[in-house]
Chain A
Amino acid sequence: MILAETPPLSSHIAGWLAGLVGTEPNWLFAAIGALVVSAAILLLVVTPVGLGGVYLERKLAGRMQNRRGPNRVGPYGLLQSLADGVKLLAKEDILQRGADSPLFRFAPYLVFMAAFAGFVVLPFAPGVVAADLDVGLFYFLALIALETVGIVMAGWSSNNKWSLLGAMREVAQVVSYELPLGLAAMCPALAVGSLSLVAITDYQAGPIWKWLLWRDLYWAIAMVPAFLLFYTAGLAAAKRAPFDLPEAESELTAGFHTEYSGMRFGMFFLPEYAMMLSLSAVTSVLFLGGYHDPLGLSAPGGMFAGVWWWGLIWFFLKTTFLFLSQIVLRWTLPRIRIDQVMYLCYKVLLPIGMGSLLLTAALRLLG
């Protein structure tokens, strides 16, 4: 969100660095400046978001189960995730015998990168978007697939059969949920006529009935199924229960990350929450109007048109709601079996996806 205004910031840093050395700013300093800025963003914005997600999940799970959840570290246990992070950092980093060392070490980074890179295209508020790509939605879906590569790498290189099985399941799951996910994402894209997340958001400007989910009410017949589809497939993409098969702890001990310890494990752990968050955000952008409020105050000509903090609040509210719903679902439902995941994706979700895509196309043609 700072990135939109950051090119000057990174060039400031570049200029300052060049001044230190006493030369003109050149491409090297520009690159260093950009690196520093993105590292700072990762450290200051994204990681707290992930840690907050972990905290929320544990607290909510606790309350759902008649427990208290974390409440020891800091007020209301707020610093628990931080303490866990420190613990993970201090732990020994184990590389077991027989592991494929380069792959084993690289896999967590790939997963981490893929999960966090998705934040780049999210329109947090009017004008606050790191990169308004024309193919933002496509880019986001591609990143989800990239994460899989990291997971397969981790499973393969661990030299552990349970990890291998976890990786196998991940692949089986990916090939099944990618299709319905893509189809569901295509419905709003088709309705708007753009793959840019900003364009999709702004198409939904106005009061609540302008949201794509029930735009002018009659769109609901195509969009409600698409929304449910995207949400369900999104659960599978974020590897959340009931689709947490790649790590199914009661079946595969810990699935693909069985052998990881310390911060490398953290690198798998945090992206899960980042993924949930970015998926929730994209869901809210596609169907729930993104940063637009339900009263239409942020529509062009409205009271808060183009006000970034107003948009940010609504974006945050919608995303958090979806995020919380994912958590609540996880602690309510049992896990699905791997063949049932495929059954569900191919035989249930895919037809729904095709149906709603057809309906969307028809609605667009008609009006």
Chain B
Amino acid sequence: MMALRNWARAVWMGLKTTWVGLTITVPYIFRRPYTLQYPEEVPEIPPTERGLHVFEIDKCIACDQCSKICPVDCITIEAEGKGKTARIRTFEIDYSKCLFCALCCEPCPTECIHMGPQFDLVGYTRDEVIIDYADRENPRVFSGEEKIPFEIVSFSRK
């Protein structure tokens, strides 16, 4: 008798649990999906996002502080002269190594390197993810007077 009761209970539980599950999942069919359609709908990126760097080239005095603190040594700087008159020849960041830790922004004396809001960078080769910030054509490089078109949060901890 006991066995029969257990058996009936198992059958009943199987039906019940299916029903309970369906009452949860089926209504979702008629709700609005939660996901964003990424390339068209861009998620809201907070200004604190540690994305690809943003560089104000004219402010940089080629002091090498940023590349010294970088834990993975992924910043390469070559410049003529030092201080206010410095002319940056290369300022390369190797994004295949970068940790996006924002440590490079912290010691910069002129606050000219920032973490920007852009988070997507793709390439077919490893060289394509090495970005030269001395190149003024780069959309993430700004000259001294230019206003950066998005909110920049200071990571500086001098």
A62 to B33, CA, bound (A): 8
Q: Is the CB of B7 within 8 A of A332?
A: no
The closest CB in chain B to the CB of A351 belongs to B7
- A347: chain B residues at CB < 8 Å are 7
The answer to whether A36 has its CB under 8 Å from any CB of chain B is: no
Interface of A: prevailing SS: helix
The answer to whether B124 has its CB under 8 Å from any CB of chain A is: no
- A329: chain B residues at CB < 8 Å are 18, 22
The answer to whether A333 has its CB under 8 Å from any CB of chain B is: yes
Q: Is the CB of A328 within 8 A of B28?
A: no
Known: A348-B7, A348-B10, A348-B11. A64 touches B26 (CB 8 A): yes
The answer to whether A60 has its CB under 8 Å from any CB of chain B is: yes
- B24: chain A residues at CB < 8 Å are 332
Q: Is the CB of A332 within 8 A of B10?
A: no
Interface of B: prevailing SS: helix
A266 to B46, CA, bound (A): 44
The answer to whether B157 has its CB under 8 Å from any CB of chain A is: no
Q: Is the CB of A328 within 8 A of B33?
A: no
The answer to whether B34 has its CB under 8 Å from any CB of chain A is: yes
Known: A347-B7, A348-B7, A348-B11. A66 touches B28 (CB 8 A): yes
The closest CB in chain B to the CB of A72 belongs to B37
The answer to whether B21 has its CB under 8 Å from any CB of chain A is: yes
Known: A328-B25, A332-B22, A333-B21. A67 touches B10 (CB 8 A): no
User: Within residues 17 to 39 of chain B, which ones have a CB less than 8 A from any CB in chain A?
Assistant: 17-18, 21-22, 24-26, 28-31, 33-35, 37
The answer to whether A310 has its CB under 8 Å from any CB of chain B is: no
The interface size of chain A toward B, counting residues with CB under 8 Å, comes to 18
The answer to whether A65 has its CB under 8 Å from any CB of chain B is: yes
Instruction: Give, as a whole number of angstroms, the nearest-CB distance from B34 to chain A.
Output: 4
A352 to B34, CA, bound (A): 42
A351 to B29, CA, bound (A): 36
The closest CB in chain B to the CB of A60 belongs to B29
Q: Is the CB of A65 within 8 A of B22?
A: no
Instruction: Give, as a whole number of angstroms, the nearest-CB distance from B70 to chain A.
Output: 39
User: Within residues 55 to 78 of chain A, which ones have a CB less than 8 A from any CB in chain B?
Assistant: 60, 62-68, 71
- B18: chain A residues at CB < 8 Å are 329, 332-333
- B10: chain A residues at CB < 8 Å are 348
A71 to B33, CA, bound (A): 12
Q: Is the CB of B29 within 8 A of A63?
A: yes
Known: A329-B18, A332-B18. A68 touches B25 (CB 8 A): no
- A67: chain B residues at CB < 8 Å are 33-35
A351 to B10, CA, bound (A): 13
A333 to B20, CA, bound (A): 10
A351 to B4, CA, bound (A): 11
Q: Is the CB of A68 within 8 A of B33?
A: yes
User: Within residues 27 to 80 of chain B, which ones have a CB less than 8 A from any CB in chain A?
Assistant: 28-31, 33-35, 37
- A328: chain B residues at CB < 8 Å are 22, 25-26
Known: A347-B7, A348-B7, A348-B11. A64 touches B21 (CB 8 A): no
- A71: chain B residues at CB < 8 Å are 37
A200 to B24, CA, bound (A): 36
A329 to B24, CA, bound (A): 12
Q: Is the CB of B34 within 8 A of A332?
A: no
The answer to whether A269 has its CB under 8 Å from any CB of chain B is: no
A65 to B35, CA, bound (A): 10
- B22: chain A residues at CB < 8 Å are 328-329, 332
A265 to B101, CA, bound (A): 44
Instruction: Give, as a whole number of angstroms, the nearest-CB distance from A268 to chain B.
Output: 27
The answer to whether A308 has its CB under 8 Å from any CB of chain B is: no
Q: Given known contacts A64-B28, A332-B21, A333-B17, what 16 new A-B pairs fall within 8 Å (CB)?
A: A64-B26, A66-B35, A67-B33, A67-B34, A67-B35, A68-B33, A68-B35, A68-B37, A328-B25, A329-B22, A332-B22, A332-B25, A333-B21, A348-B10, A348-B14, A352-B11
Which residue numbers of B lie inside 8 Å of A, CB to CB? 7, 10-11, 14, 17-18, 21-22, 24-26, 28-31, 33-35, 37
**16 A–B contact pairs at CB < 8 A?**
A62-B33, A63-B30, A64-B25, A64-B28, A65-B28, A66-B34, A66-B35, A67-B34, A67-B35, A329-B18, A332-B25, A333-B17, A333-B18, A347-B7, A348-B11, A351-B7
